């Protein structure tokens, strides 16, 4: 099997992707930051490379590994940034990706990268919800150069909300399951916002489908296509767990520019479709952790 490089391979989605690729016999390489607190056990077929300055040092790693495919998942997500976080956000969300793209051109690799639904407020072609989303779009614009001038085969996979096992991000699904388990109070916003939750196994399948597709892929939107309100999500957790949640609706203010109507983001049809229903996915998590 060919060599594959995965940035962000120690993150939530990245860990699942790396395991999937390794299980199929690929020679998987994962750059990590020396200072990172994440030190996952690498499965057979996976090599971790500690880099002092990833946005610089990854260039040499790409040259050494010469991967056929690069999955660029590394990101620096900050919902509400502080001024002292700006440099790190630019470095991780723009500079690192630019170095990766340039390296992919040098070795003739195919590049699969992730974007965010938060770049498309209201389903707009581009309307960022946050500065993080704006930086994700900045990298998309940088990639346009490599695609048009350097003939880079770059493929976008746009993500909405994701969930699944081994999630250490402190996201809503995990928090609700923990409250159900402990019987603790849950202060919430209005709960009328929509979330479109896609199981991580489906996300991994989308990433691999985008990489393997014979024709060009401009954008594959990896989403369940069945958004629910947070109130409906709570009801699913209650049904699956068999435990009522002590929710106080309106205890927290709604955040600005959240999804209150279904955002329709254009997607190429390459034969991918989600397989895990929300109820089944949450039931799996409840069974595994209760």
Predicted confidence (pLDDT) per residue in 155-195, tens digit: 999 999 999 999 999 999 999 999 999 999 999 999 999 99
The domain in which residue 101 lies consists of: 3-159
How many CB atoms are located within 10 Å of the residue 196 CB?
A: 20
**In this structure, what token pair is assigned to residue 126?**
């581009």
**Per-residue pLDDT, 73:** 98
Q: SS3 for 28?
A: strand
**Per-residue pLDDT, 39:** 67
215: in domain: no
If pLDDT is split at 50, 70 and 90, which confidence band does 81 have? confident
220: in domain: no
Identify any residues that bridge with 195 across adjacent strands, giving them in sequence order: 228
Same domain, 155 and 190: no
Of 111, 141, 159, the position where a domain reaches its end is 159
219: in domain: no
Same domain, 183 and 238: yes
* Pairwise CA distance, residues 93 & 81, whole Å: 13
Same domain, 95 and 173: no
Same domain, 136 and 81: yes
Number of domains in the chain: 2
Question: Is residue 225 scored above 90 in pLDDT?
Answer: yes
Same domain, 189 and 135: no
Concatenated DSSP letters of 12-67: HHHHHHHHHHHHTT-EEEEEEETT-S--PPPPTTEEEEEESSHHHHHHHHHHHH--
**Per-residue pLDDT, 84:** 81
Mean pLDDT of the chain: 95
Same domain, 25 and 169: no
CATH number at residue 102: 3.40.50.720
Cβ proximity of 197 and 233 under 8 Å: yes
248: in domain: yes
Of 110, 143, 159, the position where a domain reaches its end is 159
Predicted confidence (pLDDT) per residue in 113-125, tens digit: 999 999 999 999 9
CATH number at residue 235: 3.90.25.10
212: in domain: no
* Pairwise CA distance, residues 144 & 219, whole Å: 13
Same domain, 139 and 251: no
**Per-residue pLDDT, 44:** 82
């Amino acid at each position: 099997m060919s060599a594959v490089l995965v940035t962000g391979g120690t993150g939530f989605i990245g860990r699942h992707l790396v395991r999937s690729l390794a299980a199929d016999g690929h020679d998987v390489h994962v750059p990590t930051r020396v200072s990172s607190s994440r030190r996952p056990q690498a499965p057979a077929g996976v090599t971790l490379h500690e880099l002092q300055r990833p946005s610089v040092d990854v260039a040499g790693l790409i040259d050494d590994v010469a991967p056929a495919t690069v999955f660029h998942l590394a990101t620096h997500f900050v919902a509400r940034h502080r001024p002292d976080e700006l440099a790190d956000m630019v470095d991780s969300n723009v500079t690192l990706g630019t170095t990766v793209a340039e390296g992919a051109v040098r070795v003739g690799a195919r590049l699969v990268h992730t974007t965010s639904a938060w770049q498309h407020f209201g389903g707009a072609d581009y309307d960022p919800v946050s500065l993080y989303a704006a930086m994700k779009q900045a990298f998309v614009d940088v990639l346009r150069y490599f695609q048009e001038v350097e003939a880079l085969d770059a493929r976008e996979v746009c993500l909405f909300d994701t969930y699944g096992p081994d999630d250490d991000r402190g996201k809503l699904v995990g928090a609700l399951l923990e409250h159900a388990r402990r019987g603790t109070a849950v202060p919430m916003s209005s709960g009328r916002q929509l979330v479109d939750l896609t199981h991580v196994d489906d996300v991994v399948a989308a990433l691999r489908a985008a990489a393997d597709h014979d024709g060009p892929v401009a954008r594959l939107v990896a989403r369940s296509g069945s958004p629910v309100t947070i109130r409906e999500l709570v009801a699913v957790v209650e049904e699956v767990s068999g435990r009522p949640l002590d929710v106080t609706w309106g205890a927290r203010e709604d955040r600005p520019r959240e999804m209150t109507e279904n955002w329709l983001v254009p997607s190429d049809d390459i034969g991918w479709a989600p397989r895990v229903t929300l109820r089944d996915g949450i039931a799996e998590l409840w069974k595994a952790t209760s």
